Amino acid sequence: MSFASVLEYWSADRVRERISLSSERDVERALSKEELTETDVCALLSEAARPWLEAMAQLAHRRTRRFFGRTIGLYAPLYISNICGADCVYCGYAVRSGSKLKRLTLTEAEIRRECEALAARGFQHVLLLTGEAPRAVPVSYIEKAVSLAREYFASVSIEVYALDEDEYRRLVYAGLDGVTLYMETYDRETYARVHLKGRKRDYAYRLDAIERAGKAGVRRLSIGALLGLYDWRIDGFWAMLHARYLQKACWQSAISMSFPRLIHTPPRFRVVNPLSDRDLVQLMLAARLFLPEVGFNLSTRERASLRDRLIPLGVTMMSAGSSTRPGGYSTHGEETLEQFEIEDTRSPAEVAEAIRKAGYDPVWKDFDAAFVDDQVGWVGSCVEGSTDDENHS
Ligand code: SF4
């Protein structure tokens, strides 16, 4: 069974109804369980759960500690290109964003300089990012960038346009460890409304991309919905279902989720479904209780004070000292176009200190590079059809 058929069963109407019919008794029942059903998580996402956020937070804290201990991994995004042929209306890189700032793709020498700058700050885990420009930034370029980055870092992930399975496999051979790919929104109509140009318009191709990465042997798979595009409760619920589906379908990969919230957007786009800090906290807590073994990533999109408060509630990875423009760490300063403005502008050392203050250990490197090398040649981890009907309970 594909994830598309899981989504078909959990239609927006069905999810909305379950959430709106949830009572405080349903919330209490959900909180008394070790393993939550889809109906339980609907209760935790509902208005009825609002008075229970403190209890949810305590439980989420205990469950995260049980599965992840007292560690928070640190990573840095590294933008290697800001050229994009797609037109996603919420994004600063969109081909029709109207920005006149410089667009470029880093040379090999520039990628090395960026890697050196990040390695000097202590990072051992890097996320390479591009726009959607398969001609200007082909898979061969990403492959080269991955192998260059592997000379500096124990773990290299990518957040690029959706690829075929063979292309992901090629990157695994080059040393790729992780793929981050947000569906942005799982709601088809909204998806079509905000993605106006490029391959990204193909909803089905994007929806299955992360599973293709798992089949190709990518060890870390990270997903999320771009919060603010659609009803956060429903998109958040679908993202959780996706994570649970991947846990079964790609059982040899580690699954993680992000909760990116649209805050700074280009002038032409207004966030129609904004969510408050409280909404974000409720969503993360519900997700933690539904998915205790899934890692949670928290980026510098959120402000420092909120990030610090979220640390004990389920976060397992944080970015720090981020730049969202190519060459932002070493070569091109402020001259290139950035994807979005970050909120937490603290240095990596300051973020590490905040993690320590919260009683956690910041971890720059969470596994040995040799382990990744052992994975090269390992064939895909996804078991087709392994997701059973439990998802439809
Ligand atoms: S979200 Fe990605 S594909 Fe869309 S415009 Fe931005 S960089 Fe391009």
pLDDT tens-digit readout, 280-292: 999 999 999 999 9
- Condensed to tens digits (0 to 9), the pLDDT of residues 143-154 reads 999 999 999 999
Chain centroid to Cα 201, Å, comes to 19
Quick one: pLDDT at residue 297?
95
For each of the domains in the chain, give its residue range(s) and CATH number, in order of start.
Answer: 3-392 (3.20.20.70)
Quick one: pLDDT at residue 146?
98
Quick one: pLDDT at residue 332?
63
Mutate to test the pocket of ligand 1, among 132, 135, 258, 324 (most ligand atoms within 8 A of CB): 132
What separation in Å is there between the alpha carbon of 310 and the centre of ligand 1? Answer: 27
Residue among 17, 8, 20 at smallest CA distance from 48: 20
Q: Which residues contact 26 (CB under 8 A, 6 or more apart)?
A: 39, 40, 43, 46, 48
What separation in Å is there between the alpha carbon of 82 and the centre of ligand 1? Answer: 9
pLDDT tier at 365, thresholds 50, 70, 90: confident
pLDDT tier at 333, thresholds 50, 70, 90: low
| Nearest alpha carbon, ligand 1 atom 5 | 94
β-strand pairing of 71-79 with 125-129: parallel
pLDDT at 305 over 90: yes
- Condensed to tens digits (0 to 9), the pLDDT of residues 168-220 reads 999 999 999 999 999 999 999 999 999 999 999 999 999 999 999 999 999 99
DSSP state of 336: B
| Nearest alpha carbon, ligand 1 atom 8 | 131
pLDDT at 357 over 90: yes
pLDDT at 375 over 80: no
| CA 132 to ligand 1: nearest atom | 3
Quick one: pLDDT at residue 387?
35
Nearest 5 degrees, angle CA 173-CA 379-CA 214?
A: 85
> Structure pTM?
0.92
Specify whether the CB–CB gap between 362 and 377 falls below 8 A. Answer: no
Give Dmax (Cα) for the chain. Answer: 60
Quick one: pLDDT at residue 366?
55
Tell me if 200 CB under 6 Å of ligand 1: yes
What separation in Å is there between the alpha carbon of 372 and the centre of ligand 1? Answer: 29
| CA 85 to ligand 1: nearest atom | 8
For residues 54-74, give the mean pLDDT. 94
Of the two residues 325 and 28, the one the predictor is more confident about is 28
- Condensed to tens digits (0 to 9), the pLDDT of residues 112-158 reads 999 999 999 999 999 999 999 999 999 999 999 999 999 999 999 99
Tell me the three state secondary structure of residue 182: coil
Only one residue has tokens 């290109």, namely: 81
For residues 244-263, give the mean pLDDT. 96
Tell me if 337 CB under 6 Å of ligand 1: no
Quick one: pLDDT at residue 35?
95
| H or E segment to which residue 22 belongs | none
